[in-house]
Amino acid sequence: MRVTNGMQFLSSIRQIGDSTGALFKTRQEVSSGKRIQSGADDPAGYTRLLQIRSAQADADRFSSISKQVKSSLQTYDNSLDGITDVMRRARVLALQGASDFSDAGQRQVLSDQVNTLLEEAIDAGNNFTDGKFIYGGSNNATAPFSVVRDPVSGKITNVNYGGDDREQSVDLEPGVSMGFTLSGTEVFGDPPGDPGNFMGALIKLRDDIATGNNAIISASVATLDAINDRFLSLRGEMGVRIQHLDNLTAFREQTLFQLEEERAAIEDTDLAQAMTRLSLQEVTYQGALTVAARLNRDTLLDRLR
Amino acid sequence: MGFDGILYASRALTANQAALDITGENLARMNEAGYTRQRLQPQVGPATPLPLTPTIGVGPGGPLFPGNGVERFRDVLLDRTIRAQANVLAGAQTSATIFRQADAIFNESVKAGINKASTALIDAVQQAAVNPNDIPSRTLVLDRANTLAATFADYANQVQNLRLEAGTRATNAVTEANGILARLADMNAEIPDRASAETNRLLDQRDLLLDRLSEIIDIEVAVQPQGDIVVYQSAVPLVFGKTARSLSLTQDLTGAGVITTDTGKTLSNPGAAVGALLDAKNVGLKGFADQLDTLANATMTEVNRRLANSYDLNGNAGAALFSGTSAITMQVALNDPRQLGFATASLQSTESMAATGFTVDASQPLSTQNANLGNPLTAASGTIVVNGTAINWNDTQSINQILANFPPGVMATFDAARQRIVLRRDPAQGNSGPDLTVSETSGDLLNAFRLTTATLNKGVPGDAGGARSIVALNTTPVLGVPPSQSINQGIQALVQSVALTASRNSNAAETAQRLQDALLTEREQVSGVNSDEEAVHLVQYQRAYEAALRLANAQDEILDTLINRLGVR
């Protein structure tokens, strides 16, 4: 093989170029902490990276939404707790009102107390939390319950519901949605006239206690018990949904952890391995420089006299 | 015997002097680009001495005559291979450079990116879906939409700039090629058909020009018997004799670039850098630009459709969020967050379909349910019109079967608990607006399921059917015929395609470079200068020169003896 000066310099320049290129890439990896700087570095890994990031974004979105949904469900749970308390107090008053030992004066006091509970129930029905009336269904910008009052006594004679029955739900993930609202009719029952309507039952109880019809008052207790069962059922449902949400969150967190592990394996630099490679490449680079510096240091021309 | 010795000495001196000059030129120009080493070719001339012809390489002569030329060490076949590879390498390197820039544009490693902007918009709509009447949540949707539109436009502008830059580079390259072609034609006239140091200098220049030209366009070179060359491209002669064709490039952003000669011939496959530039501009980058347009248009169409098929906070059909016809022109058309149509319409039967004390089984034929219906059927068949679409029914069908025939965009269900039909607008389907209408033209199917007089629920502030439909776009296939990819998947596929193209071209350029390096090393072996070798030749010619000088001195002494001393007393 005939070796010329040009070949030697050409080869040396290429080797220095190769060494510099390898060093540059490894230094980038070490200083950025990322193995993949752009898609062209590892198209297959990069594709998987995009999928993982998309899945992480979905998981983050789920996390954010699930907090809001859980908060909403807890709001309903707390509200139902308060409403159940109203119902229990009403039941106690009903039992007292149905007693033969109550005189007219005592019944009026009891009736007034039931009226107070009715006002509390209306307030609970118009619960305004986080910018919306929570029992309005999807029509939640205005108070769902409006009342008709006796012009003389000022007492509530009728309650109207202006909300709707549409449950608001949210898509936690494709194909999995969860309702996070309860409508006024779901909780308080259909409009007055329906025996299961809580407000209507309180109005009736108030008036029955005032008139002293013990048999009817006793029947109201059974009605209140049925309504209480509905409250308990709804609270149970809220609890189940919260539990479901917690389970989904735990599963998502586990998935998120696995995704993060996979992402790190694809994208992040293995520092120990990269530093070792960097040292080796520095030695190679220094070798290439040394060889270049020694090129043609001593030729026949130097020895000619 | 005559006095040939002094003639030989004289010619040897001349020849070795010339050889020393050539060796000196080799040493002096060894690092000059395109320089090819030379060697004087001494030749033993005819026995009969001829007049002194000291000019190198031209005349006949006697022994140790300088010869018929200066040999130029060049492998013509290797040159041909190197030029073919230069064509490949230039194309690969040009493509690699362009697609690396494209990869940088589409790099989703950084915190911004089209994928992130799209995801951020979905996130914002999801937040708004939880609180649809919350103005700050709606305003966030507008902000994120602005970011997405700006990102689409930014990407598209950068790709377009890259295409324009490729076009400019192609034009410049063609201009350079024209200069080289003209110079090659001139050189056809300048280069004599005899070998000399001057001739070799011109040949070196010509080879350099051909090497450079083969990096710009794919060429074939044919050397003619007289030493001039013909340069072809796509079988079209570009240089022949003293004539050079002038090339012109016609191009725009929509069509392919066309290279024609001044005689109107089209170069179908220019190859090399120009071919790669035109290919990148008109195929590769254009493909990315087209995909961006497809994604932007799909985003605009699908989001706007869902909004228009829903109601805003003012009770009107939602306004278009985006306007534009491409990624570059995409922008947000909405300023008022209240006008985002997030609520969907619903319609439900005004009363139970069942007679008091009875229930209707929606899965059974109507004929078997007649006794359970609130009003018995008045006909065995009929027609109802739902959102403008006529639905024919007959009593052998069940309610569920009839509902299944409702047109796209109307989600119909039978609420068994309340014994009522419930219709909801599916914002993802059709462009007929958010309303739901039902009328009956014949048969009076309980006056069309008791829906004809129902009051349309126009979507209320807390309803988020439209918003949820937009969130579902994240996973709903809307791209392709039939739709097979979501917009999110389309964006990922585009980014992946850019990455793969950049990687493939970088690898191709690296491979081509390795092969070209090997070929250039081969050429260097043949044509390069070795200083040690030249030093040996230096000594060789110097010694020969000294010997010739000694011969001349000896001849001189002989003549001196003969002329001045013979017979002299």
Contact criterion met (CB < 8 Å) for B498 and A39? yes
Average pLDDT score over residue span B336-357: 84
pLDDT tens for each residue of A3-13: 888 888 888 99
Query: Which helix (H) or strand (E) is B490 found in, with range?
Result: helix B487-527
Whether residue B49 has pLDDT greater than 50: no
> Mutate which of A130, A167, A168 to test chain B, going by most B C-beta atoms within 10 A?
A168
Q: Which residue would you say has higher pLDDT here, B450 or B340? A: B340
Task: Give B261 to chain A, closest Cα distance, Å.
Answer: 38
B98: helix, coil or strand? Answer: helix
Average pLDDT score over residue span B532-545: 91
Task: Give B534 to chain A, closest Cα distance, Å.
Answer: 9
> Mutate which of A139, A169, A263 to test chain B, going by most B C-beta atoms within 10 A?
A139
What's this model's pTM, rounded to 2 decimal places? 0.83
Task: Give A98 to chain B, closest Cα distance, Å.
Answer: 34
Counting residues of chain B whose pLDDT is more than 90, the rounded percentage is 50
pLDDT tens for each residue of B463-506: 788 999 999 998 889 998 888 899 999 999 999 999 999 999 99
For residue B503, what pLDDT is reported?
94
Q: Which of B325-339, B450-464, B529-543 has the lowest mean pLDDT?
A: B450-464
Average pLDDT score over residue span B148-162: 95
Task: Give B530 to chain A, closest Cα distance, Å.
Answer: 4
Whether residue B23 has pLDDT greater than 80: yes
> b/e per residue, A58-88, with b = 16+ CB within 10 A?
bbebbeebbebbbebbebbbebbeebbebbe
Residues in chain A, how many?
305
Average pLDDT score over residue span A194-214: 83
The span from the CA of B149 to the CA of B171, in Å, is: 33
- pLDDT tier for residue A305 given thresholds of 50, 70 and 90: low
- pLDDT tier for residue B255 given thresholds of 50, 70 and 90: low
- Strand-pairing partners, residue B390, are B385
Mean pLDDT, chain A, integer: 86
For B124, nearest residue in chain A (alpha carbons): A61
CB-facing half-sphere around the CA of B478: CA atoms within 13 A = 25
* DSSP strands (E only) in B68-161: 70-72
Q: What are phi and psi of B405, to 5 degrees?
A: -90, 0
Q: Which of B124-128, B413-417, B554-558 has the lowest mean pLDDT?
A: B413-417
Task: Give A216 to chain B, closest Cα distance, Å.
Answer: 27
Amino acid identity, position B127: Q
- pLDDT tier for residue B46 given thresholds of 50, 70 and 90: low
pLDDT tens for each residue of B368-393: 877 777 777 777 788 888 888 888 88
Contact criterion met (CB < 8 Å) for B468 and A7? no
The span from the CA of B9 to the CA of A84, in Å, is: 132
For B528, nearest residue in chain A (alpha carbons): A4
The span from the CA of B195 to the CA of B199, in Å, is: 6
For residue B51, what pLDDT is reported?
44
For residue B59, what pLDDT is reported?
34
> Mutate which of A54, A301, A305 to test chain B, going by most B C-beta atoms within 10 A?
A54
For residue B45, what pLDDT is reported?
56
Contact criterion met (CB < 8 Å) for B131 and A131? yes
The alpha carbon torsion through B10, B16, B21, B26 (nearest 10 deg) reads 170
CA distance to B258, B361, B379, B402, B520, per residue, from B366 (Å): 70, 9, 11, 10, 88
Contact criterion met (CB < 8 Å) for A68 and B119? no
- B315 Rama class: left (phi>0) / alpha (psi -120 to 50) / beta: left
From chain B, the residues in CB contact with A10 under 8 A are 517, 520-521, 524
Whether residue B336 has pLDDT greater than 60: yes
pLDDT tens for each residue of A146-181: 888 888 888 888 888 888 877 888 888 777 788 888
- pLDDT tier for residue B58 given thresholds of 50, 70 and 90: very low
Average pLDDT score over residue span B68-92: 91
From chain B, the residues in CB contact with A65 under 8 A are 126-127, 130
For residue B60, what pLDDT is reported?
37
Average pLDDT score over residue span A82-87: 91
The span from the CA of A114 to the CA of A118, in Å, is: 6
Whether the upstream peptide bond of residue B482 has omega within 30° of 0, thus cis, is: yes
CA distance to B102, B173, B273, B308, B532, per residue, from B166 (Å): 12, 10, 10, 41, 46
Whether residue B17 has pLDDT greater than 70: yes
Q: Which residue would you say has higher pLDDT here, B444 or B96? A: B96
The span from the CA of B220 to the CA of B272, in Å, is: 12
The span from the CA of A72 to the CA of A77, in Å, is: 9
- pLDDT tier for residue A54 given thresholds of 50, 70 and 90: confident
From chain A, the residues in CB contact with B485 under 8 A are none
Minimal Cβ distance to A5: which of B107, B122, B531: B531
Helices (runs of H) and strands (runs of E) counted in chain B: 13, 17
A34: helix, coil or strand? Answer: strand
Contact criterion met (CB < 8 Å) for B133 and A69? no
A258: helix, coil or strand? Answer: helix
The span from the CA of B437 to the CA of B256, in Å, is: 51
Q: Which of A41-55, B40-54, B186-200, B468-482 has the lowest mean pLDDT?
A: B40-54
For A45, nearest residue in chain B (alpha carbons): B496
Amino acid identity, position B348: Q
Task: Give A62 to chain B, closest Cα distance, Å.
Answer: 9
